[in-house]
Structure 1
Amino acid sequence: MSLRVAVQMDPLETINIAGDSSFALMLAAQARGHSVMHYDVKSLAYESGRLTAWAAPAKVQKVEGDHFAREDYRQIDLVKDVDVVLMRQDPPFDLSYITATHLLERLEGQTLVVNDPASVRNAPEKVFVLDFAQYMPPTLIARRIEDVRAFHARHPGDLVMKPLHGNGGKAVIRIPADGSNLGALIELFDNAWVEPHMFQPFLEEISEGDKRIVLVDGEVAGAINRRPGAGEFRSNLAQGGYAEATTLTPREEEICAALGPALKARGLVFVGIDVIGGKWLTEINVTSPTGIVAIDRFNGTDTPALIWDAIERRQSALRN
């Protein structure tokens, strides 16, 4: 079954082919005989029930500096010309991102969108995870400094402060136990973001790593452990962390078993969850998850193949 695949993602020129999950998915799609088109989310247009984008057929190859060839961009109909849309542009999860999910939701029942846009909109990383609070560290989402000070009093020690809709470890800040910089940081965050912020006790276990576990259609596909680099407490690979092979703890297996049915039911085909210390669930990444290249490098697996198996099953069911 040959599929016409449109990939909504950042410019092909900017990707790092050594670790980019979207690039790996495009390579795997080609290997299966699927045709691939690239478009920018900013080119989406809706008129009289018709959703279009300016897309260019593309060929990708794993050659540094010569990793893609692209034809001219032209307007395509995301129903008539496309079987599958991969929604893979990077966050921020802002009004632009939310608007794109509303537009892509118009394709329901006609073109398969992965991950399901309505579910992506309703399951931002640091909010959807609250549905599984029994696996999380103590967590506060608030904006008033009085609420934060009360939370800190209940959980003395260092705190971690995060933007509620941030990504890639950006602007994640450690607040010392004395709270000396708390007021200034809340002022800074309040000026930068209109939404409340997330606060959690600093977990010493982060020195042992932050595990990224990938689930495909609700089933565990693999995992890597990410350790902080020198002089950092953030373990995100984008922030200088490094990856190592790992296995799942019984607690992590329990977390995945609890999440799996909910992810599958929501049409969240490709998801990456983050677990610290083998037991603390901190995020459920659904917008543009990463990590599959490193997972496959360490484990000898083929996660893009698992993702395309799941996509093909869903697309076949949609046709029938």
Structure 2
Amino acid sequence: MNLLFIADPLESFKIHKDSTLAMMRVAQEAGHQLWFCESRNVLWRDNLVSADCQSLVIKPSSTSWFELGGLESSALKDFSAVLMRTDPPFDIEYLNTTWLLSAAVRQGARVFNNPSAIRDHSEKLSITEFPELIPPTLVTRELSAIEAFHQEHQDIVIKPLDGMGGMGIFRVGPDGLNLASIVETLGENGARTLMTQRFLPEIKQGDKRVLLIGGEVVPFALARIPQGSEIRGNLAAGGKGVAMPLTDNEMKVASRLAPLLNERGLFLVGLDLIGGYVTEINVTSPTCFVEITEQTGFDVARFWLTALEKTLV
């Protein structure tokens, strides 16, 4: 198979733990041909969605770990699969890329995740489809609504809808200290919508990343555990990643969502659970492949490739 990875610059990869690199390695080992481009290299030309891309070979060296071929222009429909692995944030240029990819799908391209499904699933707001699975949640621009929510729940977390890696997450305790200032700053005085949730003390046991691949559940989660005085478990915010088997309840929740999301074109999903509650449904570029594999022996990348090959048959 010819696999095109649309990703961030290869030089930016954290090669010791990058999930996209793990995908590339396992695909190459299986004999598939790798191709690479950035989202800026996807274009509409001569009535086709194509990519100015390069062949890619992954090398064993930890320094010069990749080799790129010469630049070629290829229609996306001519690849066996197109893997959209550009990291968030989901900004206007990411959105523009998904529109181009949707045009490619209409021309016959196989794109994972499906671009229209990505657009339909805000990684924060999509949880509202499953109110019975989420903690008490408020989505609003209004300070007064957040103040009333705080009065009811006392201990809350406030975050922007377009944040990533734990950026912009604030906890406000029973004293309400700086609540108005936080909301005004994060919400740019009512210009931006915010999500507010009841604080979940179970975060001390970790913000668990559960991977859903091809409608199936990876049986191990990566618990991202806050360190010191932090409330954020995100690895980018200094959280410690500890892989562990899913609990019965976590497996029940994940098994319910996996086939449903896969049917919508979300082949790879990173479900975030705190205390059994769903807090986010990540669909742009889910990670944690390497950490789970190294700590449990369960080869997530191979599981992903097997599911992809089955889908493409």
Percent identity for Structure 1 against Structure 2: 36
Q: 1:231 to 1:72 in 2, by over 3 A?
A: farther
Return the letter of the residue paired with 1:141: V
Q: Identify the match of residue 128 of structure 1 among 126, 129, 132.
A: 126
Contact 1:269 1:307 in 2 (8 A): no
In 2, Cα distance between equivalents of 1:172 and 1:40: 29
Of 44, 50, 53, which residue of structure 2 is paired with 1:52?
A: 50
2:194 maps to which of 186, 192, 197: 197
Pick one of 166, 169, 177 that aligns with 1:169: 166
Match in the other structure for 2:115: 117
Report the CA distance between 1:48 and its aligned residue: 4.8
| 1:209-248 alignment runs, 5 A limit | 209-221=206-218, 222-248=220-246
1:293 to 290, 295, 304: 290
Does residue 91 (structure 1) correspond to residue 88 (structure 2)? The answer is yes
Partner of 1:24: 22
**1:76 corresponding residue in structure 2:** 74
Q: Structure 1 residues 132, 63: closer, same or farther in 2, change over 3 A?
A: farther
Q: 1:194 to 1:156 in 2, by over 3 A?
A: same
* 1:254 pairs with one of 252, 255, 266: 252
Alignment partners' CA distance in 2, 1:129 and 1:72: 43
Deviations 1:253-302 (A, max 9, x none): 2211220221121121111111112x111111110000111111111111
Q: Does 1:40 align with 2:38?
A: yes
Deviations 1:3-59 (A, max 9, x none): 111111100001011111000001011011111111110122113530122211111
Q: Do the aligned partners of 1:44 and 1:53 also contact (CA within 8 Å) in 2?
A: yes
Deviation at 1:194, TM superposition (A): 4.7
Whole-Å Cα distance in 2 between the matches of residues 193 and 237 of structure 1? 30
Distance 1:18 1:130 in 2: 35
Number of residue equivalences: 311
Question: How much has 1:306 moved relative to structure 2?
Answer: 1.6
Residue 148 of structure 1 corresponds to which residue in structure 2?
Answer: 146
Q: Distance in 2 between matches of 1:292 and 1:25?
A: 9
How big is each residue's C-alpha offset from its partner over 1:173-223, in whole Å with a ceiling of 9 and x where there is no partner? 122322221221222222399541111121111111111111111211131
Which one-letter code corresponds to 2:163 in the other structure? G
Partner of 1:37: helix, strand, or coil? strand
Q: Could you tell me how far 1:161 is from its partner in structure 2?
A: 1.0
- Asked whether the equivalents of residues 161 and 198 of structure 1 are also in contact (C-alpha less than 8 Å), the reply is yes
Asked if the contact 1:228–1:236 (Cα under 8 Å) also holds between the matched residues in 2, the reply is yes
Give the Cα–Cα distance (whole angstroms) in 1 for the partners of residues 206 and 230 of structure 2.
12
Shift of residue 247, structure 1, vs aligned partner: 1.8
Amino acid across the alignment from 2:15: I
Contact 1:217/1:267 (CA < 8 Å) preserved in 2?
no
Separation in 1 of the partners of 2:73 and 2:284? 25
Q: Following the alignment from structure 2 to structure 1, what is the Cα–Cα distance between the partners of residues 267 and 306?
A: 10
Per mean C-alpha deviation after superposition, the further-off stretch among 232-241 and 66-75 is 66-75
Distance change in 2, residues 1:193/1:253 (3 Å): farther
Which structure 2 residue ranges, 5 or more long, are not aligned? Answer: none
Higher mean C-alpha displacement, 253-262 vs 279-288: 253-262
- What amino acid does structure 2 have at the position aligned with 1:103? L
Counterpart Cα distance in 1 of 2:173 and 2:257 = 33
Cα drift, residue 313 of structure 1: 2.0
Q: Give the aligned residue type for 1:65.
A: T
CA distance in 2, matches of 1:305, 1:106: 30
- One-letter amino acid matched to 1:10: D
Are residue 281 (structure 1) and residue 293 (structure 2) matched?
no
Three-state SS of the structure 2 residue aligned to 1:120 is: helix
Q: Give the conservation status (yes or no) of the 8 Å contact 1:124–1:287.
A: no
Q: Which runs of 4+ in 1 moved over 4 A?
A: none
Q: Distance in 2 between matches of 1:233 and 1:265?
A: 34
Q: Which amino acid aligns with 1:208?
A: Q
**Contact 1:93–1:166 (CA<8 Å) still a contact in 2?**
no
Compute the RMSD of aligned alpha carbons.
1.7
Would you say 1:314 and 2:297 are equivalent positions?
no
